Amino acid sequence: MTAVDADRTVWRFPRPTAAPRGDTAAPTATLDGPIAGRRIGLRHEGSWRSWLLIVDDWVGRLRAHGAEPVVLQAGGRVGIDGVRTHHDITVWADEVEAGISGLGTCGSCTSNSVRDAVTLEALGKPAVVAVCGEFLQHARNMARYLGHADLKILELPYPLEARPADELREIAEAYYPRFVDLLGGRR
């Protein structure tokens, strides 16, 4: 496949890079109706206390609007933990009708949040990934490389961590409508 010119004035060789995945974008889904009576998933990793507070706040709001929140704590990604996490996510994705996965506020946690949202979206269910602004492009990239370029993203302020609880509750309240809108739900 390679050739070198006879006079060796040119080096010619296969380009050392590979084409990325992501030429196709899987379809997205929306609830297209009220959230009342629907099982809405909220996924966290147990790491980011800001996101735990927001999830906790949204659980209350979803219940107030007649939805049934289903919270998942995703654990480790390798070894026995990884097997368990994969199982838990599969069960969660089957159980809920739509959901949000977060929090993307580091590199691997953004990648994993996107991957778990993609698991949901691959089942034809409305899915959103929650990402802080600094990691927005990374989330878009990962969604594309996982074949779900149109995955819906809820952009949250950055940084979220280390903000006072009152401020986080204000953020939770402010962004809840957008979260429901991205699912295509009505309150």
Residue ranges that bind other proteins, judged by CB under 8 A = 1-5, 8-22, 46-47, 49, 75-82, 106-108, 110-112, 115, 135, 138, 141-142, 145
Nearer to other proteins, 29 or 168 (CB): 168
In the complex, the smallest distance separating the C-beta of residue 142 from other proteins, rounded to whole angstroms, is 7
Nearer to other proteins, 14 or 27 (CB): 14
Angle between helices 107-121 and 79-95 in degrees, nearest 10: 40
Nearer to other proteins, 20 or 27 (CB): 20
Contacts of 111 (CB under 8 A, 6+ apart): 138, 142
Q: How many CB atoms lie within 10 A of CB 182?
A: 21
In the complex, the smallest distance separating the C-beta of residue 164 from other proteins, rounded to whole angstroms, is 13
Whole-angstrom CA distances from 183 to 52, 77, 139, 157, 160 are 20, 26, 17, 20, 22
In the complex, the smallest distance separating the C-beta of residue 77 from other proteins, rounded to whole angstroms, is 5
